[in-house]
Structure 1
Amino acid sequence: MGHREQLLAAARKLLEDKGYAHITTRDLVAASATNLASIGYHFGSKAGLLNEALGLVFEEWTDQLAKVALAEPEATPIARAHLTWAAVLRSLADNRVLVLSFAEALAQADRDPALKAQLADLQDRTRSRIAAIVAPAFGGDATAADPRCRAVASFVLAVCDGFALQWMLDPDRTPKAEDLLQGLVELRARSEL
């Protein structure tokens, strides 16, 4: 394992242990058994390293959620969205520190153009992944680049992010996955009457 991989592994562990805002370059060097110059060489800055590690973690989480969305080949697009949102709610406790780290990074993004660009790219990659899952529901030759697919993907992402924010503030009053699914099923049934 080279310095780049060592630094990413250390950053990921420190994000889980300390949160984004409390990690120092000394922490990263000590945890990775590398040196300060390696951070600059591979990532440009401490923020660049932390943002890449955070992006990798969220891409893994997106992969897990995509598996949930695609697990039932015959599920309708709405059913897939419901299952994904329920999976987000179920996984928030396991990803608590990472969700908090992302919120800490967002709070700093407006003052750091490079950080803002990295986080915007992460959001766009996530949106593209979701759009690729949504595209077949439109039929024909719809692709992940279709504006309709990207808009629906943005909506799905907004719901997931909204649940995460609600949960960070008050986990006990954030809906449980089962309550969400039951409520959505009942609303759909009532709209069909």
Structure 2
Amino acid sequence: MGHREDLLAGAKRCLIEKGYARTTARDIVAASGANLASIGYHYGSKEALLNAALVQVNAEWGAAVGEVVAASRDFEAAWTRVTELFAAQRELLVVTFEALAQAEHAPEIRAALASGLDAARACMAKAFLDNTTDDTHRAVGSFCLALLTGVMAQWLIDPATAPTAKDLTLAIRTIATR
């Protein structure tokens, strides 16, 4: 790898270990083996490098969730596997919420997150639907993403009381029959 790739890998490690706000340029340099000046040369600023790392880490998290959801067409089984990912990759959840917080102030993060929404909706909907209209796919995908974000937030705050896949399934069945 070159310095650019080393810096990005180091920034990703720092995001996971220290978080966005606590990561310094010197932390990234130490994690990457690159030199301080190379941050400015390759990325322009520490913030631009961290933003690029945030986008990449969020894409990796999205891919992990997509794989888990695609592996099962049963709602409860899929959500069981998704919530298992929470424990296995807690750091990625935290970075995801940091990206959401930074999106307000970093247009490149907002654009990157927005560009992934349609693909994420399609992935989530595909797991639970066969041939339906585009409107149905978008609605189901949007619902699943909203559910994912809400469950992630509850799980980060208190994993012991966050809704389980069984809870989610019961809730949907109950709401659907009313």
Amino acid in the other structure paired with 2:97: A
State the 1:185 CA deviation: 7.8
- Aligned twin of 2:165: 177
Amino acid in the other structure paired with 2:90: R
Contact 1:16 1:98 in 2 (8 A): yes
Q: Deviations over 1:64-87 (max 9, x none)?
A: 222222224xx3xxx35x444333
Pair 5,90 (structure 1): closer, same or farther in 2 beyond 3 Å: same
State the 1:22 CA deviation: 0.4
- Aligned twin of 2:84: 90
Structure 2's unaligned 5+ residue stretches are none
- Aligned twin of 2:54: 54
Q: Secondary structure at the match of 1:162?
A: helix
Contact 1:51 1:119 in 2 (8 A): no
Contact 1:134 1:153 in 2 (8 A): yes
Contact 1:68 1:83 in 2 (8 A): no
Matched, 1:128 2:119: yes
Query: Paired residue for 1:154, among 142, 152, 155?
Result: 142
Pair 186,156 (structure 1): closer, same or farther in 2 beyond 3 Å: closer
- Aligned twin of 1:35: 35
- Aligned twin of 1:191: 177
State the 1:94 CA deviation: 2.4
Amino acid in the other structure paired with 2:7: L
| TM-score, normalised with respect to structure 2 | 0.78
- Aligned twin of 1:119: 110
Amino acid in the other structure paired with 1:170: D
State the 1:186 CA deviation: 5.6
Q: Deviations over 1:5-27 (max 9, x none)?
A: 10121112112211121000111
Contact 2:70 2:123 in 1 (8 A): no
Q: Secondary structure at the match of 2:88?
A: coil
Pair 101,44 (structure 1): closer, same or farther in 2 beyond 3 Å: same
Structure 1's unaligned 5+ residue stretches are none
Cα distance in 2 for residues equivalent to 1:152 and 1:71: 17
Amino acid in the other structure paired with 1:101: V
Amino acid in the other structure paired with 1:163: V
State the 1:133 CA deviation: 5.7
- Aligned twin of 2:13: 13
Pair 18,46 (structure 1): closer, same or farther in 2 beyond 3 Å: same
- Aligned twin of 1:165: 153
- Aligned twin of 2:4: 4
- Aligned twin of 1:139: 131
Cα distance in 1 for residues equivalent to 2:167 and 2:139: 26
Matched residue count: 177
Q: Percent identity?
A: 41
Q: Secondary structure at the match of 2:147?
A: helix
